Amino acid sequence: MDDLIIAGEKFSSRLIMGTGGAPSLEVLDQALAASGTEMTTVAMRRLDPDARGSVLDLLRRRDIEVLPNTAGCFTAGEAVLTARLAREALGTPWVKLEVIADERTLLPDPIETFDAAERLVADGFVVLPYIGDDPALARRLEQAGCAAVMPLGAPIGSGLGIRNPHNIELIVEAASVPVILDAGIGTASDAALAMELGCDAVLLATAVTRAQRPDLMATAMREAVTAGRLARQAGRIPRRRYAEASSPMTP
């Protein structure tokens, strides 16, 4: 499979993992190893002196790049501060920008997200914004200097797959930066579809961490992303209403 390049950095895996939802660090560790991921996203929270083990140590041991996110932020101001704290704590200017509109849907707030993206780009961040499947917003964020766009397939943790494949295709067609399908993936066929639609990578967490067997699902996702990418590059046959014989009809 060809390399994924984001902001000049090369990745041979096109599966970016999240860390939410894992029942333990041990389960997460096994799942990350099986997924083959080279970049994994983490949240920033108040330090808990009683916490056992650290997700950072785990990522360091596995030599997986850390992508801090701004999960839990509802305003541009909160997201900008969280990104700056992440840069300070983790020494990376990369950020998965996530500004949520409300707790029931966890859908991204486009206005706050755009505002935060402009401020973070101006501050030297490599910004990967999580957005709805909105081609116009994706284009505006690219113009604002974002290093990638991350449209959702369906709401976070819903496992509903890709609800509007047409919009994902429109985003892909217009984008000059990588398109990373983020959120909504339920099973391997969803991840393969994202890649077949032309996405450059897939980001998922819950589909793996809350599967009955996370390590096995991580392997499935790894192979689905590879299969989808290869199918995209191979160029699928056109859909037809009627049969087309693949061998001569006359003896």
Partner 1 sequence: MIVMINGTAHEVIDGTTVAQAVSTLTAATTGVAVAVNDEVVTRSAWETTALSDSDRVEVLTAVQGG
Number of residues interacting with partner 1: please give it, by CB under 8 A. 38
CB 153 within 8 A of CB 184: yes
96 is catalytic: yes
- Using the 8-state DSSP alphabet, how is residue 124 labeled? T
Segment lying near partner 1 (by CB under 8 A), choices 49-57, 140-148, 186-194, 226-234: 49-57
Q: Does 41 bind partner 1 (CB under 8 A)?
A: yes
d(CA 8, CA 10): 7
Q: Which amino acid, residue 82?
A: T
| Site map 140..179 versus partner 1, x via CB under 8 A | ----------------------------------------
Nearer of residues 84 and 213 to partner 1, judged by Cβ: 84
Please report, as residue ranges, which positions from 54 to 93 form the binding site for partner 1 (by CB under 8 A).
54-56, 66, 68-69, 71-72, 77, 81-82, 84-90
Phi then psi for 67, rounded to 5 degrees?
Answer: -115, 100
**Pick from 181, 177, 185: nearest CA to 168:** 181
Residues paired with 245 in a beta bridge: none
Active-site annotation holder among 96, 222, 229, 232? 96
d(CA 236, CA 217): 26
Annotated binding site for 1-deoxy-D-xylulose 5-phosphate: 157, 183-184, 205-206
